[in-house]
Amino acid sequence: MDTLFSYRYMRIIIATLGVMAILAVAGAVAHMLNLISYEPNYTTINVEGVAEVTATPDIGSFRFTVEAEAADVAEAQKLSGEKINDIMSYLKNEGGVEEKDIKTTGYNAQPRYEWERENCLSGFGCESERVLRGYVVTQNVQVKVRNTAKAGELIGGVGGRGATNMSGLSFEVDDIEALKEEARLLATADAKEKAERLADELEVRLGDVVSFNDGGGRYPMPMMESRAVMMDAAYGGDMEEEAFAPDIAVGEDTITARVTITYQIK
């Protein structure tokens, strides 16, 4: 009985060891296949393509502020509203700006205080008291300019109707994504041409594309004019003079694309 039990026990051990050996061999084979699939033994060439696309900005924008002060809030709001309504009417009727391209970005009404000194003797022993002088209403507006040729005219017209703190004039290409795509396609064609030329020089043939990398590119930032420059332009260099339409240079934007392509060679 003991001999039979020992025999069966030995069979179980041998079977277990056999299974473990099979699993070990299977693991080794899988590892070898994995190395084969991830370690290609073919030769490659790597090329970079570069392309530039130039475009004239077709859209612009600028910001301005309207400010009014009065003894009470209601009067300050009335004065501010009259200026804003006059400017809005000018932008829509004379400037040709659509209502969807005029956006109020801020509206604020707050009291204005001043400190008064009393009972002063040769600048010493003064008593200070904060006195309410009135209320200031401020409204900030952003304007999108779809006809860039009229940008200077619009700035002058807005400045002549009581706008202050004009800033942020910028120009950019409206459909920048289409230009990026055009530049990328040209860069890809440039890389392919370089690869074909290099293959001819090496007397080899191009195979499949192993990898493709769109390295992005250099895209233009909107051209900005400072607040001081815009105010000087809108008022002709003198805030007391009548506003005029300054000449605004739109310029050109250059979009640069770079791609890297790796080819298998035969």
Please report, for the chain, the start and end positions of each structural domain, with discontinuous segments joined by +: 45-54+177-218+258-265, 58-114+139-173+224-248
User: Which of 2-6, 19-23, 38-42, 139-143 shows the lowest mean pLDDT across its residues?
Assistant: 2-6
16, 17, 20, 39, 262 from 24: Cα distances, Å: 12, 10, 6, 22, 37
Band of the pLDDT at 43, cuts 50, 70, 90? confident
Strands (E), 71-203: 102-118, 127-145, 164-172
Q: Are 80 and 140 in contact (CB under 8 A)?
A: no
The pTM for the full model equals 0.58
- The amino acid occupying position 21 is A
Q: What is the C-alpha to C-alpha distance for residues 156 and 104, in angstroms, rounded to an integer?
A: 19
88-135 pLDDT per residue, tens: 999 999 999 999 999 999 999 999 888 777 666 665 556 677 888 899
160-198 pLDDT per residue, tens: 999 988 888 888 888 888 999 999 999 999 999 999 999
Those residues with Cβ within 8 angstroms of residue 66's Cβ, 6 or more apart along the chain or in another chain: 80, 83, 84, 87, 138, 139, 141, 162, 163, 164
Residue with tokens 């289409």: 178
In this structure, the strands spanning 206-218 and 164-172 are unpaired
Number of H helices, E strands in the chain: 5, 8
State the pLDDT at residue 131. 82
Residue with tokens 């209320």: 135
50, 156, 185, 197, 213 from 194: Cα distances, Å: 11, 52, 14, 5, 16
| DSSP code string of 231-266 | HHHHTTT-TTSPP---------EEEEEEEEEEEEE-
8, 12, 17 from 4: Cα distances, Å: 6, 13, 20
Which CATH number is 58-114+139-173+224-248's, of 3.30.230.10, 3.40.190.10, 3.30.70.2740, 3.30.70.2970? 3.30.70.2970
